[in-house]
Structure 1
């Protein structure tokens, strides 16, 4: 537990008590803020993240029970310790039933309060850790990375080698190659694995929202900012921040992000005072950042700051030895989810998978196997199920560029979904916003392709 990172709020209508508690906690390296006004204490809780709130039970302006309820509304994770006078234990016990962590009777020994605060912090951290692990590892199959091919084995070896450092890593590869999985692997094999892994999808987030999502904002910073909001950078403090599709951020955001990488400092939108964070940054892109640097759309200093270590993920076309193993993993997953007993895939169907060019990479393969399992009427997947999944035999000369492959894939998905964009996006494993962008990019219209 890092005391300097553990923020404590102290609230009592007696300024002498506040001063004594604050002085003692600061001497033990806690970050403490003291208040005699309940309204100001709750405002501080709205503006920043505190681990523990120590509050008096009886105050003229606001009862400690009301403070407890309001504090839990603002931050359900804040642990509350009630200061109670002798003879009012019953009220303190009632407070515990309503969510307070503990109580302490006045007069009290300072060390007794410190012990309770430390245990409250441990409880908060444990509760958050369990929740984050439940969120991150909800379905373990999602985080299993299969590698039989030399290309993928080299990639995993590099990823494991850089896990222990705090260096920034730039993960490059085509869409669907598993860049986020590699980032998660690096995080969970690092010394930050017990802290948060926070994702910012720069590709799916509208440019107008990236600033407030990354940096957060204070109440009144713009129309609709009715309360303070922590940004993703602040959420990742002490953990890992994964910036997906980093090539999509604006020049202004590039400048602000560079400052975070260099100094750990940032400011919420509408706030003058800078904040400090300790984060490791992993970034990913399917764009050619070197070309963006050359044409002036991406800052060279940010590029080199991100590319302290570079990992290039092979496309599925470059690791076809992995297809049988990946197919078996996905078959097991979707057989379990659908309740079917699919034993395998026959040779003709497997040959079709080997002959396909896979513009959507592993994500496309996963979606194909999922639909094949759903469509399969027996225990073995054959060519009919693969054909119904949307794979067509394609000649190499018709796939001269990655963009033409991507366009064809989008068209096939749209046809299969009867031109319902939401369903086509689900088939491809992308968001509605992304498929809408692709349709506009390639000027895809039903009358042009039917």
Structure 2
């Protein structure tokens, strides 16, 4: 049974180079596909099993370096070879950094092409055998949080300073950065850790129920109040009450919160009796409370009572050096939960995770790792990651070209189709060879 010929995709905006490469490679018994632009190359890659990519670097609209990066992340198994007419030390560095195994300078001989293609295939096979896998990532844990960045250290330093007192703390940060984890770390790493920790999402409680849920109510206070009931403040007695999304609290609740902070006392709905409370309040928000104050939806006096200590949790894009530690944590967590085994991640896949900007922060990262663990078998590689994480090529909007330029572009495509046969191209275009030459000049 004959072995399958290797499929080689050649990308170059120079028709003559395309034809030369195709002739040489076909004489070496390779099967070739040609593209005169990155856009055409992507269509071929989508529908064809390609064993080697050979591309030029300098091309209009989208260059070869962008193509190399795209292929490195979407088709990491395809080895890449660059053929360029502009060799330089910096250029070679950029080429290798973009994922190419080697590059060949124009002009070149058939022998040089044959040698470097064979070398590229051989190196690719060797690299596949020796593919590195990240598995010895040193984790720095702190109360279920992990990180080693300067930004993470700043948060931990703040936690250490407040964990053993009951000063009011406000935790600020984007959604998904781990504000509740910070609140729990303050409580459970300090001397009040044996007391209750009660977490309340103010945004999840309807406005008309916020007061009764937080402060409790007296029997007969309203229809359906058939018994006395304590609220979250009483449940957190001696410990910590964590008020998430504090910016969504109603103005009525804000007034009672201010009194609770100032006087350390609350009053149940429907009662005249004042009750003393001994709790620490930690609030959290991803909203701009100062803007809310301007809009008169948040009390200024309450804001300053809440911000005795302010902890700002940085977004994940500002602490990317912590991503390997977080990935290791989530791989261990979901590997044990779903597959009862240890999962690992390749360096290439980890590199993609480190480059992404993570608008959803740690919550989004955890979701991605959870999903990939479910859908893979022991090793998380580039192919297991969602495409939106990987490098995407953005093509510029096509300009309106003069009719002559449009005509010339169409003639070039016909020549690609006819493999450079000008007689066949002229027949398709229903013109003579002289007219064809004029249209290309």
TM-score range, shorter chain: 0.5 to 0.7
- Aligned residue-pair number: 254
State the shift of 1:307 in Å: 0.2
The equivalent of 1:173 in structure 2 is 173
The equivalent of 2:19 in structure 1 is none
Hey, what's the Cα distance between the residues in 1 that align with 2:272 and 2:391? 59
Check whether the contact 1:356–1:394 (CA below 8 A) recurs between aligned residues: no
The equivalent of 2:364 in structure 1 is 364
- Relative to structure 1, is the Cα distance of residues 212 and 345 closer, same or farther in structure 2, using a 3 angstrom cutoff? same
The equivalent of 1:196 in structure 2 is 196
Q: Deviations over 1:283-328 (max 9, x none)?
A: 1100111111222221111000000010000000000000001100
The equivalent of 1:339 in structure 2 is 339
Hey, what's the Cα distance between the residues in 2 that align with 1:297 and 1:392? 41
Unmatched 5+ residue regions in structure 1?
A: 1-140, 397-450
Q: Deviations over 1:39-60 (max 9, x none)?
A: xxxxxxxxxxxxxxxxxxxxxx
- Relative to structure 1, is the Cα distance of residues 394 and 203 closer, same or farther in structure 2, using a 3 angstrom cutoff? farther
Output the aligned Cα RMSD: 2.0
* Bigger relative CO (Cα 8 Å, ≥ 6 apart): 2
Hey, what's the Cα distance between the residues in 2 that align with 1:326 and 1:266? 40
Hey, what's the Cα distance between the residues in 2 that align with 1:214 and 1:351? 45
Hey, what's the Cα distance between the residues in 1 that align with 2:244 and 2:393? 32
Mean Cα displacement is larger for which, 214-223 or 307-316? Answer: 214-223
Hey, what's the Cα distance between the residues in 2 that align with 1:392 and 1:181? 29
State the shift of 1:266 in Å: 1.0
Hey, what's the Cα distance between the residues in 2 that align with 1:142 and 1:311? 16
State the shift of 1:162 in Å: 1.4
Unmatched 5+ residue regions in structure 2?
A: 1-140, 395-441
Residue 396 (structure 2) pairs with residue 384 (structure 1) = no
Hey, what's the Cα distance between the residues in 1 that align with 2:354 and 2:147? 16
Which structure: larger Rg?
Answer: 2
The equivalent of 1:289 in structure 2 is 289
Hey, what's the Cα distance between the residues in 1 that align with 2:160 and 2:393? 38
State the shift of 1:209 in Å: 1.4
Check whether the contact 2:143–2:189 (CA below 8 A) recurs between aligned residues: no
Q: Deviations over 1:32-89 (max 9, x none)?
A: xxxxxxxxxxxxxxxxxxxxxxxxxxxxxxxxxxxxxxxxxxxxxxxxxxxxxxxxxx
Q: Deviations over 1:242-295 (max 9, x none)?
A: 111111111111111000001111111111111111111111100111111222
Hey, what's the Cα distance between the residues in 1 that align with 2:214 and 2:170? 18
Check whether the contact 2:242–2:282 (CA below 8 A) recurs between aligned residues: yes
Q: Deviations over 1:207-229 (max 9, x none)?
A: 12111110111222122222221
| SS, match of residue 200 in structure 2 | strand
Structure 1 stretches (4+) deviating beyond 2 angstroms? 339-343, 390-396
| SS, match of residue 217 in structure 1 | coil
The equivalent of 1:157 in structure 2 is 157
